Amino acid sequence: MKRLLWIVLLTGCPKPPAAEPLAFQTLGSFEYKDKMKLPEDVARWNGKLVRASGFMNPTSQARNLTTFLLVKDRASCCFGKRPQINHYIEVKLKPGATADYASDPVTIQGVLKVDDRWDGDWQLGLYWMEGAEVLK
Amino acid sequence: MIFALLFLLQDSAKIVQEVEYANAKDKPQFHVQAVRKLRDRGGPAVAEEIAKFVAKNGHNSLSIAFTEGLGGLLDERIAALLRELVRDKEFYWRPTALRALAEQADRRSLEEFRAALGDRLWGCRAAGLLALEKLDDRVSIPRIRELLGDDVYDVRAQAAKTLHAFGDSSGLPVLVEALRANTVWFDIDYGQIAREDAWNFLKKVAKDDFGYKPWESVEERAPGLAKAEAWIAKTMPDWRSRVPEKARVRAEQTEYQFGFELRSCQRGDFFFRIDQEGNLVLGYFTLEKAKLSDAELQALKAALDSVKSVDRSIPYGQGGCDFEQYYLRTGTRFEKLWIGLQGRPTRVEPFTRVVLDLVRKKFGERTAEEFKQSSDIFRMSE
């Protein structure tokens, strides 16, 4: 038992994977066409733990948000402009977590899913992050 | 025959769904898609369904994306609806409706467009200019020239671009001057937005980008700026004297002790600051100053103390594209208090009343009325 303890102490606990910084320019730098094959430099982010900064899009409520859109700039966040489908991430926070709307940029961390989801003729979204946390 | 009928019925059900989805408050992700589908479809059946939807739900049930999309539906009923939306002073998206009408270049709306040049909302003035350009309405040139001295950069710039489209270069000095724009509103660099816009237009006119990069520092921009100014001086040696007073860029060295930013998709924007010299400074691009007396500053300070007592770690009211934001100085930095629709805490109300009185006294009834109209939607009782 002592020996096992020494092995654990010497090798250390496995570290959680570090989140990779993700820039919106990467996700939004192509012209999206319905049901297209996504560029390789976008698709490669699927399933990765990432950290992304942007602006929260305030929808119908401002407090205790459990989901929100993270958009790349202020213009699409606050002034009535709807962002392009490849210019935002639909963020769902960790179970039980909430966040209040902030007008300053925020950084979020979570696993990004690059998944062109459709319901019949209607596109649901392209970039998703579930179990996310707001870092600042 | 039966198959054709079934096909028509199915198509009609799809149109109903598309109009609903284009405006559904709980499905914002579908707005743009639904509008695109309706625009691709076009035709009288779409116009008819839209008319039915508006008759049933009212103007303010329309989303901004849908209102914008109406511009691509060329049908007399749609043009008539857009005119109706523009005339409705309570409609949330009037500037957008006017832009959509401009996209249609509808000659029957000429009077709407001419009247828009005097609208209270700068978005309407800019859309009116664009529409008159599309309709080649040269009768309006004298009025358009006046707008080169508008309070808002976007309107001045559109006036210059519209005049240029008419073969009149009298607005170009306004754009060249904007290459010097240095306006900063706390953390937003409006100067850069103006510089980029002006440069993008001028480089096409001059067929030369002057080696100027709007995002670089003042020092780095200097050689490109000199080149652009030399370019205009060749054909217009007196260009500097042609820049209207309100379009002239001034060095802004002032420190501020407070800022108020109101942005409303519905009612328009309103900005003011209090500088270190005790001036009430209105606007965010073209600034108007009024000196406050000691008594006025005292009253303002007391009201601001009440605002400062509100917990600013949380936002108030509803999310959306209408909000007011208070920039409160704490030491060397500013903390923000964010208030959405119908969310203004009671302790902020005295400040709004004091400001309304001051604006009325210093800048007149019209400006005070603008502030009141825009500001009312944030009161809890509204």
How confident is the model at residue B11, as a pLDDT? 80
Q: Cβ contacts (< 8 Å) between A61 and chain B: which residues? A: 318-319
Confidence band, pLDDT 50/70/90 cuts, at residue A75: low
pLDDT at position B9: 62
Contact between B65 and B27 under an 8 Å Cβ cutoff? The reply is: no
pLDDT at A65: 92
Task: For B103-128, write each residue's pLDDT tens digit.
Answer: 999 899 999 999 999 998 888 999 99
pLDDT surpassing 60 at residue A68: yes
Q: Is the dihedral of CA A50, A53, A54, A60 positive or negative?
A: positive
Q: What is the DSSP string of B1-50?
A: -HHHHHHHHHHHHHHHHHHHHHH-TT-GGGHHHHHHHHHHH-SHHHHHHH
CATH topology of domain B1-135: Leucine-rich Repeat Variant (1.25.10)
pLDDT digit string (tens) for A78-124?
A: 555 667 889 999 999 999 999 999 888 999 999 999 999 999 989 99
Residue range(s) in chain B whose domain bears CATH number 1.25.10.10: 1-135
- Whether B358 has a pLDDT exceeding 60, the answer reads yes
- Tens digit of each residue's pLDDT (9 = 90 or more) over B240-250: 999 999 999 98
Intervals of CATH 3.30.1560 along chain B: 256-376
The model's confidence at residue B284, banded by pLDDT at 50, 70 and 90, is confident
ipTM of model over 0.90: no
Q: Say which amino acid occupies A78.
A: C
User: pTM of this prediction?
Assistant: 0.81
**Distance of alpha carbon A24 from the chain centroid:** 10
DSSP annotation of A123 reads E
For B82-101, write each residue's pLDDT tens digit: 999 999 988 988 889 999 99
CATH architecture observed for domain B256-376: 2-Layer Sandwich (3.30)
CATH superfamily of A17-134: Protein of unknown function (DUF3299) (2.40.50.870)
Boundaries of every domain in chain A: 17-134
Who among A61, A62, A80 is closest to B64 (CB)? A80
- Is the pLDDT at B321 greater than 70, yes or no? yes
pLDDT digits (tens, 9 = 90+) for A31-44: 999 899 999 999 99
- Name the residue in chain A with its Cα closest to that of B65: A82
pLDDT surpassing 70 at residue B6: no
- Which residue from B29, B96, B340 is facing A62, i.e. has the nearest CB? B340
Contact A62 B263 (CB under 8 A): no
The answer to whether A17 faces chain B, any CB pair under 8 Å, is no
Chain B interface test: which of A31, A32, A56, A61 (most B C-beta within 10 Å): A61
The whole-number average pLDDT for the span B254-271 is: 88
Question: For B141-172, how does the pLDDT look when each residue is reduced to its tens digit (9 = 90+)?
Answer: 999 999 999 988 999 999 999 999 999 999 99
- The percentage of chain B sitting over the pLDDT mark of 70, rounded to a whole number, equals 96
Does the pLDDT of residue B310 top 80, yes or no? yes
Residue that the structure tokens 């029957």 belong to: B108
Largest CA distance in chain A: 63
Comparing CB atoms, the residue among A60, A79, A103 nearest residue B318 is A60
Give the mean model confidence (pLDDT) for residues B345-374. 94
CB contact under 8 A, A82 and B28: yes
Closest residue in chain A to residue B96, using alpha carbons only: A80
Average pLDDT value for chain B: 92
